[in-house]
Chains A and B, each alone.
Chain A
Amino acid sequence: MAHCWGPALLLLLLLLKSASWAGGNRCVDAAEACTEDARCQQLRAEYVAQCLSRAARGGCPRTRCRRALRRFFARGPPALTLALLFCPCAGPSCAERRRQTFVPTCAFSGPGAEPPSCLVPLDTCEQSRVCRPRLLAFQASCAPVPRALDGCPRDQGVRCLRAYAGLVGTAVTPNYVDNASARVAPWCDCGASGNRREECEAFRGLFTRNRCLDGAIQDFDSVWSPVLQRQLDSHRDAKPSLMQVPSAEGMLEGSLLPVVLPVLALQDLL
């Protein structure tokens, strides 16, 4: 009799654990991790509110939306904000969720139905106090190195990713191009670029033909996320949050008990 309980209980507990995973959608996991952090959740709610609202002239308030997005990536904990941007995906629904993460209908595409020439956002960025340093940082941190395995300068993958995230909400906001791959590009093309075509292609190639960027995005989950998570955890341990809700702590402490209680209860049956 005693021998029957052990494996059955183990199976039950394993089923419970797997039921609590959202079917392995890493982007959903990233969203929930952000929800559970007060700062991340507040910043996320802020940009969603701005990017979903209506502007006076119709459409969405792009300036305010983009500003709120920049604030999200600047002030939010990198482990959580970058996880929302670079969550690894195997299927189209996960990839589509990843593509929709920063409300691209407002922040990424438009105004107008057709993407402009890449020279337009490039020139705008060069003249912007906000965008220009970020673009330079991106070019520096994500410059591909021929000899490196993943294409990035040694151990600079996370800097490249943070520089990329710094471009979200600027004139050259990049996003995933479809829900079938991890290719990224700004919302523009090089069709009508005249005699500046090479310049246009070179700029677009920073996103579409960049081995360092591709490698860093691919490595995010396995290599960079644990590093950032450790930083986040040590930061949390050092500075207890004043916004902590009493029940949240109790909920975490009490959650070990449901595992212990059935085991102890069963012990009495033996």
Chain B
Amino acid sequence: MATGRALLGALLLLSLQLGWGPEALGASVAEETLSPEQAADAGGSWTPPLGARVRRAPAGPCQLWSLSLPVAELGLGFASEERVIFRYCAGSCPRSARTQHGLTLAWLQAQGRAHGGPCCRPTRYADVTFLDDRLRWQRLPQLSAAACGCG
């Protein structure tokens, strides 16, 4: 029993020694052991237990989230050894929206004349570029979000 605990303690120390702390490799470890939604959710203060797939809406205000993905996992049919950063917007939008559109929409929704509510969406996009498996440059314009807003 005591030997087992000592082994596990040594394992933990070993893993920290190997540099698995919150450095550059830490993000890739997170990708291997958490699903992408879980990695995104780790932005908040709660980390879901391993193996759980998170389906509920994220808590917190509308903000920019980022995922580090292999190119194949973008779902667009490209193949590359590179990983890219995909940013997206998620979060709740308070009823008091900041755009003209949001204000009018909120007014109409309060009256029951329009569906839904203001949603968290990108206000600016960025390109994603990589060298594919045939070593040709690929540029995916406006693929990733660069800034978010409620509208």
Interface residues of A (CB under 8 A from B): 2-3, 5-6, 9-10, 13, 16-17, 19-20, 22-23, 25, 28, 31-33, 35-36, 41-42, 44-45, 48-49, 51-52, 93, 96-97, 100, 103, 245-263, 266-267, 270
Contacts and interface: CB of A to CB of B under 8 A. Distances in A.
Interface stretch (B2-10, B95-103, B105-113, B116-124): B2-10
Contacts of A249: 43
Q: Is the interface of A mostly helix, strand, loop or mixed?
A: helix
Contact of A259 (B4, B15, B23, B139): B15
Nearest to A44: B129
B137 A263 contact: no
Given A245-B65, A270-B4, A93 B135 contact: yes
A52 B137 contact: yes
Contacts of A28: 81-82
Contacts of A257: 47
A5 B7 contact: yes
A249 B83 CA distance: 18
Nearest to A34: B82
Contacts of B84: 35
B129 A259 contact: no
B123 to A, nearest CB: 15
29 contacts: A3-B3, A3-B7, A5-B8, A6-B7, A17-B29, A20-B29, A28-B81, A36-B24, A45-B126, A45-B129, A45-B139, A48-B129, A49-B127, A49-B141, A52-B139, A97-B131, A247-B42, A249-B43, A250-B43, A251-B39, A252-B27, A255-B22, A255-B42, A258-B30, A261-B50, A263-B8, A266-B8, A270-B4, A270-B5
Interface string B1-21: 101110110111011001011
Contact of B66 (A19, A23, A248): A248
Contacts of A270: 1, 4-5
B66 A255 contact: no
Nearest to A247: B43
Q: How large is the interface on B (under 10, 10 to 19, 20 to 34, 35 or more residues)?
A: 35 or more
Contacts of A48: 127, 129, 137, 139
Contacts of A250: 42-45
Given A22-B83, A25-B81, A100-B135, 11 more contacts: A45-B139, A103-B137, A246-B64, A246-B65, A248-B43, A250-B43, A251-B27, A251-B30, A252-B22, A255-B29, A266-B8
B127 A255 contact: no
A36 B32 contact: no
A249 B32 CA distance: 18
A-B pairs, top 9 by smallest CB distance, nearest first, are: A2-B4, A247-B43, A254-B42, A250-B43, A255-B26, A6-B7, A20-B28, A255-B30, A258-B33
Interface in B35-80: 39-40, 42-45, 47, 49-50, 63-66, 68
